[in-house]
Amino acid sequence: MSQEKFAFHLDKNFTIGTIFLIFFILFVSTTMVFAQNGTPPTDNEVNAIAKDLYCPVCENTPLDVCPTVACAQWRDMIREKLTAGWSKEQISQYFVDQYGDRVLAEPPKRGFNWLVYVLPPIFFLGGCILVYKNLRKFKNQKPGVDSGNMDKNDPYMQEVEEALQLMNRKDQGN
Amino acid sequence: MLTNLGFGSLVITFALSLYGIFAAIYGERKNLYRFVESARWAMLLTFPMITLVTLCIIGLLVTQHYEVQYVYNVTSQSMPLYLKITALWGGQSGSLVFWAWLMSAFASAVTLRKWNRDRDFLPWVIVVCLVTLAFFLSMIILFENPFQRFWSTSGGQQIVAMFQPAGSQLIIPADGRGLNPLLRHPGMVIHPPMLYLGFVSFVIPFAFGIAALITGRKDDRWIRLTRRWTLVAWMFLSIGLVLGSRWAYDVLGWGGYWAWDPVENAAFMPWLTGTAFLHSVMIQEKRGLFKRWNMILVILTYSLVIFGTFLTRSGVLSSVHAFAQSAIGPMFFAFIGITFLVSLALLIKRWNDLNSEGQMNSLLSRESLFLVNNLLFMGVLAVVFWGTVFPLISELFTGQKVTVSAPFYERSTGPLFAGLLLLMGIAPLSAWGHSTWKTLGKAMWKPGLLSLLVLIAMVISGIRSFGALLGLWLTSFVIFVTLYEFWRGMIARHRRSGENYFTALIRLAARNRRRYGGYVIHLSIVLMAIGIIGIESFQTQTQAKLIPGESLQLAGYTVTYESLAEFDVQDGRNVARAVLNVSKNGKNLGELYPRRDYFYDSQQPMTIPGVRSTIEDDLYVILVNWEEISTNGATFKVFHNPLVNWLWFGGILLIFGSFIAAWPDPEKGLQLESITKSRQSAVSSSISAD
């Protein structure tokens, strides 16, 4: 009896378990079948993700245009992930987890990386202040004033200028 | 024989350079001019000596001496003769020799000028040129010797050495590895020489600037003497950059021309400071302002030239660790640091002597606008420099490799370039010394109105991208302003002299080559900007796998895959070539032949796009992949690149404009001579009267 009970329990558990298992398999396979039967990702869809990811091996080459065999395999990987229903963000994160931040087009905005975003504007701002200080010094003068400096510091030309001035004074004196 | 002759010449040239440096300094310090003259001859002699070195390398390359490591690395039997010759700059050591050869050519050319009025500059110009040359020669002799050969020791070990180790035998490989396929392109044949010419010719203005600092001369003589050098340097650097872009477009097979790659940035940075310098020197010439700033700019340009060479030659770009392991990297780094610090120290020493002679009079004067122009160039430089070095700094301090690529640069520099375009439109209309909104407005309203009409037409035609509208409006504004300036000058001359319009226009430009050459250069930059805006804003692309007979559509074009053939060619390539038919609106436009070349010697593939170019756009097709037997399908990537050809037209116009601006002005020379003579006679007569 106890054995029958046990058998019943076993059967019952087995049945419930089997039903759950069947449902699970059905659910998973339906999802997979859906994913596999849905329109497979086009090359353009793959490239749309690949263009924002950089080849982990080559320098500064986006994955969508990288001609190496390794990059072709990584594009295939993107295709597989898309087929499996992954989103763009999930795929990007997968590549970051696998190969580090260098696969991203720009350093993520955190910690030390902030320097790349902050320093050029600070430098430019400093330049703006310097230019502003220089421009503030301007004096209002009449149009057409052009002091020029042609050979002002050339001793020979200074000599010439002084001689000419002397001549002018002499002319005026006469 | 050739190896020993070449290496011996290298060592002698290095010794000559050292002698020249010491003779120039000694002669200057002791006031013994014969030593300075001797140094000048030493500098002159470096040119034929390095020419001999270069000829030795070319001789080895052409005669296929594969026992020489450099020859083995960059040539193979299947390469045509012209590529064997240009392989001189196809590898590290050869390119350094080529750099040194050009440097010696420019340095020698400088020594041949008349030094009567500027004798005090001569020793220091020699020192700067020869220090730079000696540094490069030392790098070649100590670390990148192109004459090293393969030897087999008695123990069977293969080594590379200049001279025969005891008991060893020479190894003569049957064939070389061949030049990197990417470098077997006409663009790559001309691109490096242009870039190097630009690099080395910027050394000359720097040498004069340093000479002015050392001698304590406060005038702008050094700027006037080097104006043409600077312009020629700038032109070569510009041509180098444009050719590099064209090469990338034709060979790299990614549909673009500029990737903000560190190697590209390395050449772009001295161009930025050089362009700022070209504008800024005019302020010093006209108004006596910004003497210190011009010194800073020329020092920066020189340092960036060496920095650019360092970036591309030291291995630092692949990793900071590769840099640390490379022999020449740390040496380059030390040289840049030392030359930069010494130059700065000299500048600081002369700081008070370099006061401005005048002051800014007006916010809208041309000098003020040039100052803002310099600020914007420096802003772009800050972005490009920091973006280029940050990955190295990140790796050094955090161990984390990061990528700083196109989106960062485009976002950061876009507004700065827009500002530069705006200034290119306004500055030519402003006056030196003083300008007001009223005078500027009066000069600007006609071109401004026309450009607004263009803007309205663009909006009506359906363009909605803010960046494209702004960019194209600014480019049209600059074009109208520049043409208006030509028009006004031409009309004035026609009315005054009665010349016909064409003659008036030609003579107008000939009378003031610097100004009108500059305007032509502005036009060329604007044409390039149109090409850049076109491809950046309107590029579209698609990729698909096709079987013969299938088509894909892009931007109104229909591309039909017809066939694919794979075959070997005599120069050692395996070629896979597709035939595609292109049509638009039902009209057949012909065939395109994208292909993939596989080079057996270097075992590297190369993607050659099929391109249909018109003034309006490019249809650019790449053969991505193909299946050889089963389905006969092939994958194609197709780009539609609107307006891109304007970029290349602009490049050609830039050369033309640079020639106009740099061409010597005989009339002016005669005028100057007659003025000087009349003034001299005035002085002598006044003295005799006294």
> How far is the alpha carbon of B583 from chain A, nearest alpha carbon, in Å?
22
Sheet of strand B617-626: strand arrangement = B540-546, B634-642, B617-626, B610-613
pLDDT tens digits along B34-45: 999 999 999 999
- Please report the pLDDT score of residue B327 as a whole number: 75
CA B236 to chain centre: 6
The span from the CA of B244 to the CA of B248, in Å, is 6
The span from the CA of B41 to the CA of B23, in Å, is 11
Task: Indicate whether B116 pLDDT > 50.
Answer: yes
- Is A120 within 8 Å of B382 when comparing Cβ atoms? yes
- Please report the pLDDT score of residue B45 as a whole number: 95
Task: Indicate whether B63 pLDDT > 50.
Answer: yes
- Is A107 within 8 Å of B439 when comparing Cβ atoms? no
Q: Enumerate the residues of chain B whose CB falls inside 8 A of the CB of residue A137.
A: 359-360
pLDDT-based confidence at A153, cuts 50/70/90? very low
Of B361, B404, B435, the CB nearest to A139: B361
Of B253, B412, B541, the CB nearest to A67: B253
The span from the CA of B394 to the CA of B382, in Å, is 17
- Is A154 within 8 Å of B221 when comparing Cβ atoms? yes
- Please report the pLDDT score of residue A136 as a whole number: 75
- Is B433 within 8 Å of A145 when comparing Cβ atoms? yes
- Please report the pLDDT score of residue B312 as a whole number: 79
User: Can you tell me the mean pLDDT for B644-663?
Assistant: 92
* Least trusted range by pLDDT, from B464-473, B607-616, B624-633: B624-633
Task: Indicate whether A8 pLDDT > 80.
Answer: no
pLDDT-based confidence at A160, cuts 50/70/90? very low
Q: Enumerate the residues of chain B whose CB falls inside 8 A of the CB of residue A112.
A: 394, 397-398, 400
Q: Which SS3 state, helix, strand or coil, does residue B162 take? A: coil
Q: Which residue has the tokens 């010697």?
A: B601
- Please report the pLDDT score of residue B572 as a whole number: 82
Q: Enumerate the residues of chain B whose CB falls inside 8 A of the CB of residue A59.
A: 261-262, 317-318
Backbone φ and ψ of B610, nearest 5° = -95, 125
Task: Indicate whether B228 pLDDT > 90.
Answer: no
CA angle, B587 then B590 then B593, to 5°: 145
User: Can you tell me the mean pLDDT for B381-388?
Assistant: 96
- Is B390 within 8 Å of A116 when comparing Cβ atoms? yes
The span from the CA of A19 to the CA of B619, in Å, is 59
> Who wins on pLDDT, B173 or A135?
B173
Q: Which SS3 state, helix, strand or coil, does residue B41 take? A: helix
Q: What percent of chain B has pLDDT over 90?
A: 59
> How far is the alpha carbon of A101 from chain B, nearest alpha carbon, in Å?
6
CB pairs under 8 A between A and B: 191
> Who wins on pLDDT, A64 or B313?
A64
- Please report the pLDDT score of residue A57 as a whole number: 81
User: Can you tell me the mean pLDDT for B671-678?
Assistant: 50
- Please report the pLDDT score of residue A141 as a whole number: 45
pLDDT-based confidence at A15, cuts 50/70/90? low
* Least trusted range by pLDDT, from A62-66, B321-325, B333-337, B589-593: B321-325
The span from the CA of B319 to the CA of B309, in Å, is 16
* Least trusted range by pLDDT, from B242-246, B523-527, B599-603, B655-659: B599-603
- Please report the pLDDT score of residue A1 as a whole number: 37
Task: Indicate whether B303 pLDDT > 90.
Answer: yes
- The residues in A 79-98 lying below 8 A from B, measured between CB atoms, are none
- Please report the pLDDT score of residue B119 as a whole number: 86
User: Can you tell me the mean pLDDT for B576-595?
Assistant: 94
pLDDT tens digits along A73-120: 999 999 999 999 999 999 999 999 999 999 999 999 999 999 999 999
- Is A149 within 8 Å of B358 when comparing Cβ atoms? yes
Q: Enumerate the residues of chain A whose CB falls inside 8 A of the CB of residue B382.
A: 119-120, 123-124
The span from the CA of B318 to the CA of B38, in Å, is 44
Backbone φ and ψ of B437, nearest 5° = -60, -35
- Please report the pLDDT score of residue B607 as a whole number: 87
- Is A119 within 8 Å of B408 when comparing Cβ atoms? no
Tokens of A172: 């005026």
Q: What is the DSSP string of B313-343?
A: HSSTTT-HHHHHHSSHHHHHHHHHHHHHHHH
pLDDT-based confidence at A154, cuts 50/70/90? very low
Q: Enumerate the residues of chain A whose CB falls inside 8 A of the CB of residue B408.
A: 105-106, 116
Q: What percent of chain B has pLDDT over 70?
A: 94
> How far is the alpha carbon of B598 from chain A, nearest alpha carbon, in Å?
12
pLDDT-based confidence at B681, cuts 50/70/90? low
* Every domain of chain A and the residues it spans: 1-38, 43-105, 110-136
Q: Does A151 touch chain B (CB under 8 A)?
A: yes
Task: Indicate whether B236 pLDDT > 90.
Answer: yes
User: Can you tell me the mean pLDDT for B176-201?
Assistant: 85
- Is A124 within 8 Å of B379 when comparing Cβ atoms? yes
Q: Enumerate the residues of chain B whose CB falls inside 8 A of the CB of residue A106.
A: 403-405, 407-408
pLDDT tens digits along A135-150: 776 554 444 433 333 3
> How far is the alpha carbon of A113 from chain B, nearest alpha carbon, in Å?
8
Beta bridge partners of B584: B557, B587
The span from the CA of B293 to the CA of B289, in Å, is 9
Q: Which residues contact B373 (CB under 8 A, 6 or more apart)?
A: B276, B279, B420, B423, B427
- Please report the pLDDT score of residue A30 as a whole number: 41
Longest dimension (CA), chain A: 150
Tokens of B159: 């080594």
- Please report the pLDDT score of residue B510 as a whole number: 85
Q: Enumerate the residues of chain A whose CB falls inside 8 A of the CB of residue B439.
A: 143
- Is A167 within 8 Å of B682 when comparing Cβ atoms? yes
- Is B404 within 8 Å of A134 when comparing Cβ atoms? no
- Is B394 within 8 Å of A107 when comparing Cβ atoms? yes
> How far is the alpha carbon of B568 from chain A, nearest alpha carbon, in Å?
21
- Is A124 within 8 Å of B363 when comparing Cβ atoms? no
- Please report the pLDDT score of residue A67 as a whole number: 79
User: Can you tell me the mean pLDDT for B507-531?
Assistant: 91
The span from the CA of B383 to the CA of B389, in Å, is 10
Task: Indicate whether B364 pLDDT > 90.
Answer: no
Q: Which residues contact B436 (CB under 8 A, 6 or more apart)?
A: A143, B362, B364
User: Can you tell me the mean pLDDT for B410-419?
Assistant: 95
ipTM over 0.85: no
Q: Does A72 touch chain B (CB under 8 A)?
A: yes
Task: Indicate whether B117 pLDDT > 80.
Answer: no
Task: Indicate whether B326 pLDDT > 80.
Answer: no
User: Can you tell me the mean pLDDT for B507-526?
Assistant: 90
Q: What is the β-pairing status of strands B540-546 and B634-642?
A: antiparallel
User: Can you tell me the mean pLDDT for B403-407?
Assistant: 91
Helix intervals (H) in B326-465: 328-349, 366-398, 406-426, 437-460
The span from the CA of B92 to the CA of B466, in Å, is 44
- The residues in A 93-132 lying below 8 A from B, measured between CB atoms, are 100-107, 111-113, 115-116, 119-120, 123-124, 127-128, 131
The span from the CA of A115 to the CA of B589, in Å, is 51
Of A119, A144, A166, the CB nearest to B686: A166
User: Can you tell me the mean pLDDT for B496-506?
Assistant: 87
- Please report the pLDDT score of residue B319 as a whole number: 55
pLDDT-based confidence at B129, cuts 50/70/90? very high
Of B220, B287, B372, the CB nearest to A131: B372
Q: Does A135 touch chain B (CB under 8 A)?
A: yes
Q: Which of B657, B368, B640 is nearest to B527 (CA)?
A: B657
Task: Indicate whether A162 pLDDT > 70.
Answer: no
Are B284 and B223 spatial neighbours (Cβ–Cβ below 8 Å)? Answer: yes
* Least trusted range by pLDDT, from B409-418, B428-437, B674-683: B674-683
Q: Which SS3 state, helix, strand or coil, does residue B466 take? A: helix
Q: Across chain A, what does the average pLDDT equal?
A: 71
* Every domain of chain B and the residues it spans: 1-179, 190-425, 436-511, 540-646
Of A100, A107, A149, the CB nearest to B287: A149
State in words which class domain A43-105 has.
Answer: mainly alpha
- Please report the pLDDT score of residue A146 as a whole number: 38
Of B255, B260, B544, the CB nearest to A43: B544
The span from the CA of B82 to the CA of B88, in Å, is 10
Q: Across chain B, what does the average pLDDT equal?
A: 89
- Is B390 within 8 Å of A72 when comparing Cβ atoms? no
- Is A148 within 8 Å of B434 when comparing Cβ atoms? no
